[in-house]
Homo-oligomer: A and B are copies of this chain.
Amino acid sequence: MAGITSILLDLFIIFALAKTVAEVFTRLRQPVVVGEIMLGIIIGPNALGVVGEPAGALTEIFHGDPETAKEALGIVFEIMAELGVIVLLFFVGLETRIGDIVQVGRRAGLVAILGIAAPFILGLSFMLLIGRPQVEAVFVGTALVGTSTAIAARVLRDMGFIGSPVARIIIGAAVIDDVLSLLLLTVVTGMGEGDGIHFTEILIISAQALAMIALIALFGPPGARRYSLHLLRLRIPHAHLIVAIILMLGLATLSGRMGLAAIIGAFLAGMVLAESKESFDFERDTIPFYEFFVPFFFVITGMQVDPEVLLDVEVILISVGVIALAIAGKVIGCGIGAWGMGPRTAAIVGVAMSPRGEVGLIVASVGLSLATISHEIFSVVVVMSIVTTMLAPPVMVALFRGYQPEEPTKVEAPAPVPHVVRRPYQRRRQQGSGDDA
């Protein structure tokens, strides 16, 4: 009992401080997500240790072994963080119309592929140039590939731009990115295990993933439109909320079991429900989950950083180079992909795609667990993930100031829609000075 209470206390501290920081950052007009990550770094076990240190009562459960107790506490944190990122991507999906993604599909694909190629080649070349082993170079290249959909989506959401065309391209490209970078991680993992690249296995995972996404994207929305009214026949209260949670957890687990990130399934679940007649109800009723779970993801991601790694000179030098290339790779690659939309939009897309967040941290932990990379390179990848994550939001805030997006779909749009009925980001545009028109 006392062990459980000590975990509850940690969860309470994280939640209460995260909301305090959110209030302060909102008043300072700074992105809340940066505040949450910084909070995690400060209170985490590597710095102040306010949370994440198992209490004596918890250690007792694991027969007095503090290491195992810490790992068990880490599992609880990971589950809370995973539920947080699942709810976040579910929300992003709920605010994404499949028609909009298809409309921006070609552009998003271009942004994703160029945004993968550029940082991979830059990272690989840099590591080989400074004389690191080939497998480590391939690994760092892979770590630079992924985009944290979560961070980009959170900043877009916080600023009220989630419904804008540029947001659709960013989210679309980030989802394509996630799929492709996780496939690349599978390849690199095969290399790291030293028994060659399993092309058959990679092909199977790729085929499964693409089949799942295609099936859900094709049949989910019409199904949601047709069957949504049948929910009224269920006898349990709040049936549509329960169906939403089941679909969200179910697809997240399914995509996790298929070797993809669980967030892809959560995003697809949200996108399917966005097409149903009750999409507004789904969003209103799941807001409490958003408010409760999402901060855990960002605070706990911050907690994984060890501030001490920054004291090693070699780590600092390599980090600076890798961070520069991580940002340059995405800004150049994605920027070229989005060039036709105007320079400011291209810059926004490039910067929005640059935070590596949880994707970089996942690659880093896989590499370390396989002993494919040294502990220094692990630290470099972690620092790169954090710095790109923390740099992107303020730059995005600056770039969005007075931003007037250029419509990417002038030809395909059925008719010009009056400004008053557009999505919430419109409010911001009216306040801005419109210097990018």
In the complex, A364 has a CB within 8 A of chain B: no
Q: How far is the CB of A212 from chain B (nearest CB, A)?
A: 15
Q: Which residues of B contact A8 (CB under 8 A)?
A: 79, 82, 249, 252-253, 256, 262
In the complex, A227 has a CB within 8 A of chain B: no
B12 in contact with A249 (CB, 8 Å): yes
Kindly supply a per-residue 1/0 record for chain A positions 216-249, scoring 1 wherever the CB is within 8 Å of any chain B CB and 0 otherwise.
0000000000000000001111100110011001
Tell me which residues from 256 to 294 in chain A have a Cβ below 8 Å from any Cβ of chain B: 256-257, 262, 285-289, 291-292
Tell me which residues from 88 to 130 in chain A have a Cβ below 8 Å from any Cβ of chain B: none
Bound-complex Cα distance A61 to B369 (A): 10
A257 in contact with B9 (CB, 8 Å): yes
Q: Which residues of B contact A27 (CB under 8 A)?
A: 235
Q: How far is the CB of A273 from chain B (nearest CB, A)?
A: 15
Q: How far is the CB of A35 from chain B (nearest CB, A)?
A: 11
Bound-complex Cα distance A255 to B287 (A): 28
Kindly supply a per-residue 1/0 record for chain A positions 1-22, scoring 1 wherever the CB is within 8 Å of any chain B CB and 0 otherwise.
1111101110110011001001
Which stretch of A70-78, A170-178, A394-402 is in the interface? A70-78
Known A-B contacts A16-B246, A68-B68, A72-B71; the reply to A238 vs B5 at CB < 8 A is: no
Bound-complex Cα distance A351 to B362 (A): 53
In the complex, A23 has a CB within 8 A of chain B: yes
In the complex, A250 has a CB within 8 A of chain B: yes
Binding site for B on A (CB under 8 A): 1-5, 7-9, 11-12, 15-16, 19, 22-23, 26-27, 58, 61-62, 68, 71-73, 75-76, 78-79, 82, 234-238, 241-242, 245-246, 249-250, 252-253, 256-257, 262, 285-289, 291-292, 362, 366
Known A7-B75, A11-B79, A26-B236; further 10 A-B contacts with Cβ < 8 A: A1-B362, A3-B75, A7-B79, A8-B249, A8-B256, A9-B257, A23-B236, A61-B71, A288-B289, A289-B292
26 contacting pairs across A/B (C-beta < 8 A): A1-B362, A1-B366, A4-B75, A4-B78, A4-B82, A5-B256, A7-B75, A8-B79, A8-B82, A8-B249, A8-B256, A8-B262, A11-B249, A12-B246, A15-B246, A16-B246, A16-B249, A19-B242, A19-B246, A23-B236, A61-B71, A68-B68, A241-B288, A245-B291, A285-B287, A286-B288
